[in-house]
Amino acid sequence: MNSPLYGKFRVSQGYKGVSHKGIDLVGIDSKEIHSTVDGIVEVARWDAKLGASGIDTKYGMGQYVRVKEENTNYRYYFGHMSQILATPGQKVKKGDAIGIEGRTGNATGSHVHYEIRRTTSNATFLNVSELSGIPNQLGIYEQNETADTDPDFEEAKRKVQEKAGLDDNTMRYLQEYRYGKELIRKLAAAIG
């Protein structure tokens, strides 16, 4: 699982495609939001529109951060922050703190809206639950800071990449595939 919240968190609204393009998470143990990828912060600001009386801060994702992933160029959105801890142009690594959960923008309660898009276009959203491994159902889950550190899997990845001559993008694609980890482990075993 690759959640922007560490420790226990609650899925308060699942991914529903066009009707809800991301997944909403509420921190239980911590409200600190972490980047889920290595990349560049493209945007760290209010998602606001101009209204008759100035900026409408009850609009959209409120205070949000958008990170462009290093290997795929996918855009990762983290919305409704009460505080932004990242700046545009900043390089971030997976696990770096980029904000604090909040209820800015169009939000009824404190949470982080987590969304992944192929590009910056609102129409290129991807199934964040499938890509992140966060269950797409309401409930309480737990993400440890080192949850993705699996020495056996890392060795299997290294072996498959080296023996098959695959580039980093191909390995990332394999790993993000729904059954990618199982496939990589089976390939490593077959390679020997």
Token digits for 170?
């191909």
CATH 2.70.70.10 holds for 7-143: yes
* pLDDT at position 147 over 50: no
Please report which confidence band the pLDDT of residue 151 belongs to, taking 50, 70 and 90 as the band edges. low
Using the predicted structure, report yes or no on whether residue 150 has a pLDDT greater than 60: no
Average confidence (pLDDT) over 89-97? 94
133: pLDDT strictly greater than 60: yes
Q: How much is the pLDDT for 26?
A: 98
Confidence grade of residue 78 (pLDDT, cut at 50, 70, 90): very high
Least confident stretch, 20-24, 145-149, 183-187: 145-149
Mean pLDDT of 125-134: 93
Residue 98 pLDDT = 97
Query: Which pLDDT does position 50 carry in this prediction?
Result: 66
- Of the pLDDT bands very low, low, confident and very high (cuts 50, 70, 90), residue 174 is confident
Question: Taking all residues of the chain, what is their mean pLDDT, rounded to a whole number?
Answer: 88
Between CA 149 and CA 91 the distance in angstroms is 21
Q: Which residue ranges make up each domain of the chain?
A: 7-143, 151-191
